[in-house]
Structure 1
Amino acid sequence: MTSSDIARAINDLLFSPGVDLAEALDRHFTPDYRQRTNGVWSDRTSFARHITRLRSLIRSGHIEVHDELRDGLRYADRHTVTLSHRDGHTSRTEVYLFAELAPDGRFQRVEETTLLITGQLDDENLGLIK
C-alpha cells in the first residue's frame, strides 16, 4: 500500500462525492485511529461522525499543502482547507498537523491545531463539529 498523505485523505473524505466514506476511511486510516483537534481527542468512530457532518454542510472545496515532511513513520504538514458551504459562504482554515503513520502507510494518529483565516464565527468549530 502507498503511504497516505493529507491531500489524498481530505480529497477522498470531503471532496470526492463518489467515494464511499467507509472506503475512504479504510484507505487512509487504521482501525485504531485517534485524532486530537484543538485539544479534543476523537476515535475513528467519532471522526467518521465528524466527516459525515462536514459532508452534509459543504458543497465543495479544496486543500492546499504548504509544507510537508516525512521521517519514517512520522508525518507533518501545514495546509489550508477552503470550503464552499451549502448556505453559500466560504471558509478557509489553516491547519498545523503532526501524525504517526502505521507500517502500512495509513494514518494511525493525528494531532492538529486549526486557525480560521476567513469565514463565519461558527466556522471556528468546523474541526470539532459532529
Structure 2
Amino acid sequence: MTPTDITRAINDLLFTPGLDLEEAVERHFTPDYRQRTNGVWSDRAGFVAHMTRLRSLVRSGHIEVHEELRDGPRYADRHTVTVERDNGRISRTEVYLFALMAPDGRFRRVEETTMLVDGHPDDGNLGSVK
C-alpha cells in the first residue's frame, strides 16, 4: 500500500463527494485510529461522526500543504484548508499536525491544532464539529 498523506486523506474525505465515507476512512486510517484536535481526543467512530457532519456542511474546497516531513513512522505538516460552506461562506483554517503512521502507511494517530485564518468566527469550530 502506498503511504497516505494529508492531501490524499482530506481530498478523499471532504472534496470527493462520490467516494463513500467508510471507504475513504478505511483507505487512510487504521481501525484503532485516534485523533486529538485542539486538546480533545476522539476514536475512529468519533472521527467518522465528525467527517459525516463536515460533509453535510462543506460544498467544496482545497488543501494547501506548506510543509511536510516524514521520519520513519512519524509524519508532520502545516497545511491550510479552504472550504466553501453550504451557506456560501468561505473560510480558511491553518492546521499544525503531528501523526504516527502504521506499517501499512495509514494514519494511526493524529494530534493537531487548528486556527481560523480567514472567515466567519463560527467557522472556527469546523475542526471539531460533530
Q: Please confirm whether the aligned pair reaches a TM-score higher than 0.5, indicating the same fold.
A: yes
* SS of residue paired to 2:51: helix
CA distance in 2, matches of 1:18, 1:58: 14
| Structural mapping, 1:3-14, within 5 Å | 3-14=3-14
Identity %: 74
| Structural mapping, 1:16-95, within 5 Å | 16-95=16-95
CA distance in 1, matches of 2:12, 2:40: 23
Q: Does residue 97 of the first structure (1) align with residue 123 of the second (2)?
A: no
Q: Which amino acid aligns with 1:84?
A: E
CA distance in 2, matches of 1:2, 1:36: 24
Residues paired across the two proteins, number: 130
CA distance in 2, matches of 1:47, 1:56: 14
Q: Which amino acid aligns with 2:12?
A: D
Structure 1, residues 9-66: CA drift from partner, whole Å, max 9, x if none? 0000000011100000000000000000000000000000000000000100000000
CA distance in 2, matches of 1:51, 1:117: 21
Q: TM-score, length-normalised on structure 2?
A: 0.99
Stretches of structure 2 lacking an aligned partner (at least 5 in a row): none
Match of 2:110 in 1: 110
Let me know the Cα RMSD of the aligned residues. 0.4
